[in-house]
Amino acid sequence: MLRVNEGIDPLLRRPFSICGTTDGEIALILYKIAGHGTEILSGKKAGEKLSVMGPLGQGFTLPGQNEKAVLVAGGIGIAPLYFLACALKDNQMEFMSGFDTSGNIISPEKIAGRSINISIATDDGSEGYSGMVTGLLDEYLDKNIYEKDSIIIYACGPSAMLKKVSSIAACREIPCQVSMEALMACGLGACQGCAVKVFPQNDLTLYRHVCKDGPVFPAHIIDWGAI
For residue 201, the model assigns a pLDDT of 77
Helix axes 159-171, 133-143, angle to 10 degrees: 20
What pLDDT, in 10s, does the model give residues 9-41?
A: 888 899 999 998 887 788 899 998 989 999 999
For residue 112, the model assigns a pLDDT of 65
Structural domain that includes position 137: 68-226
What pLDDT, in 10s, does the model give residues 99-120?
A: 999 999 988 777 766 678 899 9
Is there a domain that residue 4 lies in?
A: no
DSSP code, position 60:
P
Q: Are the C-beta atoms of residues 211 and 188 closer than 8 Å to each other?
A: yes
Average pLDDT, integer, range 165-179: 97
Is there a domain that residue 203 lies in?
A: yes
pLDDT at 133 over 90: yes
pLDDT band at 142 (very low <50, low <70, confident <90, very high): very high
What pLDDT, in 10s, does the model give residues 52-76?
A: 998 899 999 999 988 999 999 999 9
Give the integer Cα–Cα distance in Å for 25 and 33: 25
Is there a domain that residue 214 lies in?
A: yes
For 99-125, give the DSSP string. ESSGGGPPPHHHHHS----EEEEETTS
pLDDT at 46 over 80: yes
pLDDT at 8 over 90: no
Is there a domain that residue 36 lies in?
A: no
Give the integer Cα–Cα distance in Å for 67 and 52: 35
Lowest mean pLDDT among 56-60, 91-95, 114-118, 181-185: 114-118
Give the integer Cα–Cα distance in Å for 153 and 151: 7
Average pLDDT, integer, range 138-151: 91
Is there a domain that residue 171 lies in?
A: yes
Spatial CB neighbours of 24, under 8 Å, sequence gap ≥ 6? none
Is there a domain that residue 46 lies in?
A: no
Q: What percent of the chain has pLDDT over 70?
A: 99
Average pLDDT, integer, range 158-173: 96
For residue 147, the model assigns a pLDDT of 84
Spatial CB neighbours of 142, under 8 Å, sequence gap ≥ 6? none
Is there a domain that residue 57 lies in?
A: no
Is there a domain that residue 62 lies in?
A: no
| Average pLDDT of the chain, as a whole number | 91
Lowest mean pLDDT among 17-26, 127-136, 188-197: 17-26
Average pLDDT, integer, range 142-155: 91
Specify the number of domains making up the chain.
Answer: 1
pLDDT at 204 over 90: no
CATH number, domain containing residue 162: 3.40.50.80
